[in-house]
Structure 1
């Protein structure tokens, strides 16, 4: 229980953006905590891993702020259903023993670079020359589905595009590549320290520009 509740109480997240609940109602973090706790109990093979709270947060926010009050009442159940189905697709990212397998997170991070090499070899070679490994930034991008890189409304917009795509996680790789190519000039000019700062605190906030670029990369195959 402590594993689940600790990050929810101490980490700033989208939960602060909800409207205050009436007296007698549970706090939003308590609802999210219960969702994660039940998921961990039903899935002992993976249990709770740090970062799952960042995945469930945008889902719960979407349901808990629905303008239809009747639908809003079912926010917890709807969130649990969607979170469980989403985790069925991305759970391998959270299983350490699978890290180096073809379905693990290490393979996916390397796939970001192999895709970048195909789309922008000059930028790829620059990052390789500076020994900037995808693990330094793409781990968070991929495991948390970019939920920590943008404001919550923008995260929801990105997820809307991801979930609408049949090959949604291939598209996520393209979104990551788009993020790199959109700051290529800064990366080509910067040194290791500056580039690491750019990648760990991504400077572009216009997600529509990023999604447009990702679609261009997708269509250029």
Structure 2
């Protein structure tokens, strides 16, 4: 048993388990603190959206889009190799239609699984090839990339002949090889070599569990280690935020999902909140490797090429997560479980697109609402005052047309004839005949809500970023600082 515990692989597993446990504890505390900050900053919350839905101002309501509006019948047929070639000029090999047209076809139809079109199309979607390149450009680029791959692979190969070398760098390389060295057949050996080559290429990040999940589909489609490597390298540019040591990339995505659920399904969010489940831990693995372990193999290939288009948003994978929540909404509301059951890909993707369209309209409605005066629907009823002074105050309140408290003013129109009015929250003054008594807890709570309502409500930056199609790529200094790469070990700047 002692020898087993001293085994390097066992120690690595134990360290990873401890790190995960510590991270989960920190995350639970962090998401609660962030939620409190959001409430203080008046970012739109589930309760705000519920209040908005309950108004009769139709133009500002959150419309409940019919998910069935995007049925399977409306999905386009798959893009075949023949159709793909028709997108390009036969003489120059340059794209003859717009990039947006190509992405729309792939987003709604996908690529044919059997005729080899993915080998070509994925290199464009991943960014290995430029969309405005010619045939000659691509031939030259691929030849150059093959040469660079051979050099990168040779660099670590020579080093490992000497067991990684000496000093901290040698120790780091032996550790990386120990983490990756799981090959049992020729394909796994090829993947191991590609991951070690990626460690040579990106010394800032280091190998982290889950990277092999991202490499496997690309290698399976390309069937060429050099081409697959560069496809994986470009994919990792957008995914390396998931593998930082401080987990800031994953934390930001889960926080954005938190905001998204609050906005799009406030009732479900409040239910999750009551069950202490708004940390969204159950989505951690799904977002980490883009649902690789949740769906069937061929569904993953179709899903990834859809996400790579960035046709609607560069963070469309979060709407896919929201679609999963919506699909299982009834079970969650009743039992809060059954998240690991087999998922149906097609209906989930359709639901995700419908939810994105609804999200766009929601943000537009909220932005429009913030540019108009509050609706008169919530105007207060002012009871007959007992004195001329109170009558004048009541008239002032009735002209405001809303139940919010403006800066430096009072609104006594809501006071009943049988209970004393609350203290003036804006000036801290007391009424001469009522100042000796203390306002009731209910009145204090009401005044607090009024003061809270006068703060501006905004869509969070995380939610606005979901409307962008630009892929977020981390600066190298961030990866160098928070990655597990060689620079972290030897203390390089």
| TM bucket, shorter chain | 0.7 to 0.9
Partner of 1:77: 226
**1:3-152 aligned within 5 A:** 3-6=179-182, 27-64=186-223, 75-97=224-246, 99-100=247-248, 104-152=249-297
Bigger helix share: 1
- CA distance in 2: counterparts of 1:167 and 1:47, whole angstroms: 32
Task: Identify if the C-alpha distance between structure 1 residues 127 and 149 changes in structure 2 by more than 3 Å, giving closer, same or farther.
Answer: same
Q: Is the 8 A contact 1:55 1:144 kept in 2?
A: yes
TM-score by length of 2: 0.36
Q: Is the 8 A contact 2:294 2:342 kept in 1?
A: no
Q: Helix, strand or coil: the match of 1:126?
A: helix
Give how far 1:116 is off.
1.3
Give how far 1:85 is off.
0.3
Task: Identify if the C-alpha distance between structure 1 residues 208 and 111 changes in structure 2 by more than 3 Å, giving closer, same or farther.
Answer: same
- CA distance in 1: counterparts of 2:272 and 2:187, whole angstroms: 41
- CA distance in 1: counterparts of 2:233 and 2:189, whole angstroms: 18
Give how far 1:123 is off.
1.1
Partner of 2:350: 212
- The structure, 1 or 2, with the larger RCO (C-alpha pairs under 8 Å, 6+ apart) is 2
- CA distance in 2: counterparts of 1:202 and 1:109, whole angstroms: 21
- CA distance in 1: counterparts of 2:313 and 2:292, whole angstroms: 15
Q: Helix, strand or coil: the match of 1:96?
A: coil
Give how far 1:44 is off.
1.4
Q: Out of 178, 183, 195, which is 1:2 matched to?
A: 178
- CA distance in 2: counterparts of 1:143 and 1:157, whole angstroms: 18
TM-score by length of 1: 0.78
**1:155-194 aligned within 5 A:** 155-166=300-311, 169-191=314-336
Q: Is the 8 A contact 1:174 1:218 kept in 2?
A: yes
Q: Helix, strand or coil: the match of 2:315?
A: helix
Task: Identify if the C-alpha distance between structure 1 residues 51 and 168 changes in structure 2 by more than 3 Å, giving closer, same or farther.
Answer: farther
Q: Is the 8 A contact 2:258 2:280 kept in 1?
A: no
Q: Which runs of 5+ in 1 are unaligned?
A: 10-25, 65-74
Whichever of the two has the greater Rg, that structure is 2
Q: Is the 8 A contact 1:112 1:134 kept in 2?
A: no
- The aligned length equals 183
Between 106-115 and 172-181, the greater mean CA deviation after superposition: 106-115
Task: Identify if the C-alpha distance between structure 1 residues 49 and 135 changes in structure 2 by more than 3 Å, giving closer, same or farther.
Answer: farther
Q: Helix, strand or coil: the match of 2:181?
A: helix
Say what the alpha-carbon RMSD is for the aligned residues: 1.7
- CA distance in 2: counterparts of 1:44 and 1:133, whole angstroms: 35
- CA distance in 2: counterparts of 1:148 and 1:46, whole angstroms: 23
Give how far 1:94 is off.
0.3
Give how far 1:218 is off.
1.0
Q: Which runs of 5+ in 2 are unaligned?
A: 1-176, 361-493
